[in-house]
Structure 1
Amino acid sequence: MRFNRMLLSTTLVVVALVVQVTVLARLQLPGAVPDLMLLTVLGLAFVYGPMSGALIGFGAGLLADFAPPADHAAGRYALVLCVIGYLAGLAKPENGQIRSATAPMVAVVVAAIGSTLLYAGVGALVGDTAARHVGIVNLLLTSALYDLLLAPFVVPVVMALARRAENDPLADSQSGTNGADVASGWLASGTGLRIGSQRAGLRVNAARSRAARAGRIKGVKRL
């Protein structure tokens, strides 16, 4: 991976891990814990593609495996996020721009459910049966709900930072969109992340009209 990808990915993963361990894990919510690490990996994989998504997922999961209070076998969560990062990278849009909010939100739900099932399945293989005592159905429902509620405020921001680090022209067209606009675009069905591009189009049209008026004033012939 490029150096800027590695630097940004490492920074975002470390920040997500610190917030998850020190804040989200202490909320004592019923069922699962909101998985900020998963959402960060999803956002990066949506921009960088499957191979980078798998590498970022593996590194993020391995870091989480060793972060206290680690109560599971090392490499278990690394395998989960590696698979999720690769599959999420396969869903990367061809032009790099998400047209609808439906597909990313469905991807978040599928990733939340899939990561919980895969984590429990790997645990069963190594003799960890904690998921049976907690209730796998309760974990699936709460993890999907919490991640879905948190996703509009995490994934679009991560994607915007990743595009800006890549010097992606899409980042310039979306630079006028703040976090609240992006979150509202995800929450509003069918609008997606087109708010920034629509505003950019309006600015371009306004600039062209001003140029046309200026040309007529200067006496330039317009056909």
Structure 2
Amino acid sequence: MRLVPALTVTALLTLPAFASAQPPANCALANAVDSGSYAALTIDIWSEADEDNAAGNWADCRATALRRSLSGNPKLSARIDGLRKQLQQLRALEGQFAYIRAGGGTLYSHAIPRSFPYLEEQLAGLAALARTTLGAQSGQRYAALIAQARKAHVAYVVSLRAYRPKPDETYSTYSAAEWKRLVDRYETLGRAVMQTLGTRGDAATALGYSMLTTTLFPADGDF
């Protein structure tokens, strides 16, 4: 399930890697090795597009494997699928914010699919934790981590809303109306993630909230 193209508002997120002919995913290999090893073993002639594609394929294969492993727990599987979609959209928007502030650049589009393997590892960890008594353990530490993540996410959105290009930022492709629309969407997605995760102060919930704040780029433009 490749989400990035469906999220595009500008040509930024229509990544060349997904538009050009790329080798099909080798899920048997992806499920046996880490994402870096998968790229090394599947890319014949290195290119930015091939690296993007390898990262996306690895994440897709691992997502399918995780979904299969959760077939006996449909509620948890649905929650993980929902989180994956929401968090991938957040990562895509973070790339777009950085792209706008920088006035373009392929760095920001390439960063999006390359973040998906780490996200998939986090989701696998969350699913594993949620199925054990370890994930149900509660305590002040976990409650504090959740509170910190909520605070950090709010601060990120506030910083995004406060952004205006400086006089010397003539390269920015900033549009006030478009920026507001994107930030509104980002804030809505963040709330959706928190709603999916819930408010239980346990280890699994705390891990889920940490994923909310694993952002691609800072909100203040200093990157």
Report the TM range for the smaller structure's normalisation.
under 0.3
Identify the structure with bigger relative contact order (alpha carbons < 8 Å, sequence gap 6+): 2
Q: Computing the radius of gyration over CA atoms, which structure comes out larger, 1 or 2?
A: 1
Could you tell me the TM-score, scaled by structure 1's length? Answer: 0.28
TM-score by length of 2: 0.28
